[in-house]
Structure 1
Amino acid sequence: MFRKLVIGALGAMAALFSTTAFAQGTAADAKAMLGKTVAAIKAEKAKTLDQINKGENGFLVGDLYPFCFNLSDGLLVAVGNPNVKGLLGKDARTFKDPTGDVYGPRLYDAAKEGQVNEVSYMSPKAGADKTWVPKASFVTAVAGLGCGVGYYK
């Protein structure tokens, strides 16, 4: 009896974690994570950027993650998506997708203090699958950074 309970509990936990780990975030989830990102940057900017880059402290949940770039020079300083770590240090204004759409300037221009703006583009999905899919990101400005969190459509 005890063994069945333990096996059942472990199975339920595995199902919970597998759906949570790979769950697709919604627009509301993305807005909530952006709010968390902004608050954390205001409190401890350097620590938060490090946590975003490591996907720690809730800055990588399923396929949701924040990204931040400097408003001064456009350089990407933090990104939670492990599939695009190679973009760190690159000018976000130059980002383009495989179709040739240069979406970086739209992300950069959307970063306005006190506003949350939405930008649509294609992006590689977080996780093992590196397929480019439609995405929309909510973007704002905080502490000299443009930060966003997107959701896959």
Structure 2
Amino acid sequence: MFKKGILTTFALLFGLIATVGQTAEFGTEAEAKSMIERAVNLVKEDKIRALDAFTDLEGGFGYKDLYVFCFNNKGIILAHPTNLGMDASELTDEDGVNIWSLVSSVKKGEIKKITYKLVRPTTESQETYTKTSFVTKVRNIYCGVGFYAE
């Protein structure tokens, strides 16, 4: 029961959310990669404006089931459509993988793919799915965009 609760919380944090979707259209790997590249450019230009745009899903940063999420260097969420301010540093997937450890391992300027398992919130099932996120570190924050493989 506790494990399912953690997975559900994690799915809400990194998964598909009502403000983005409830749609059958899912973002692709190429679309996620393009979105993180655009996000990096906006953070470099104006970090505060970028974080606001990501949280508010403005400027094309809420497309299909894709959105940008960002953290400070302690795992606190700086940009997310529903979980702004949440401490994500201890969240793990069903296999016990600490997601923050994966995210925070990226080097500044690098875009890295990380993979973990989540419940997909827009489905009726509690089945877990593989999710991959492109993550990067830019201007001392970590940002990512994820997509489901299935």
Distance across 2 between alignment mates of 1:117 and 1:104: 13
8 Å Cα contact 2:111-2:135 kept in structure 1 = yes
**Which amino acid in 2 is paired with 1:70?**
N
Which residue is equivalent to 2:76? 75
1:33: Cα distance to partner? Answer: 0.2
Query: Which TM-score applies when normalising by structure 2?
Result: 0.73
Which residue is equivalent to 1:150? 146
Query: Which TM-score applies when normalising by structure 1?
Result: 0.71
Matched residue count:
125
1:134: Cα distance to partner? Answer: 1.3
- What's the CA shift string for 1:85-132, capped at 9, x where partnerless? 24x32333212234543222111212x212111110123546x44754
SS in structure 1 opposite 2:102? helix
Give matches, 1:33-72, under 5 Å: 33-71=35-73
2:131 equivalent to 1:135: yes
Which residue is equivalent to 2:5? none
8 Å Cα contact 2:94-2:118 kept in structure 1 = no
- Higher RCO by CA contacts (8 Å cutoff, separation 6 or greater): 2
SS in structure 2 opposite 1:94? coil
Structure whose residues are more often helix by fraction: 1
8 Å Cα contact 1:120-1:135 kept in structure 2 = yes
Distance across 1 between alignment mates of 2:88 and 2:136: 14
Distance across 1 between alignment mates of 2:100 and 2:139: 20
Which residue is equivalent to 2:102? 106
Percent identity between matched residues is: 34
Unpaired stretches in structure 2, ≥5 consecutive residues: 1-22
Unpaired stretches in structure 1, ≥5 consecutive residues: 1-20
Which of 116, 123, 140 is 1:121 aligned to?
116
SS in structure 1 opposite 2:78? strand
Displacement over 3 Å in runs of 4+: 98-101, 123-126, 128-132
1:137: Cα distance to partner? Answer: 0.6
Bigger CA radius of gyration? 1
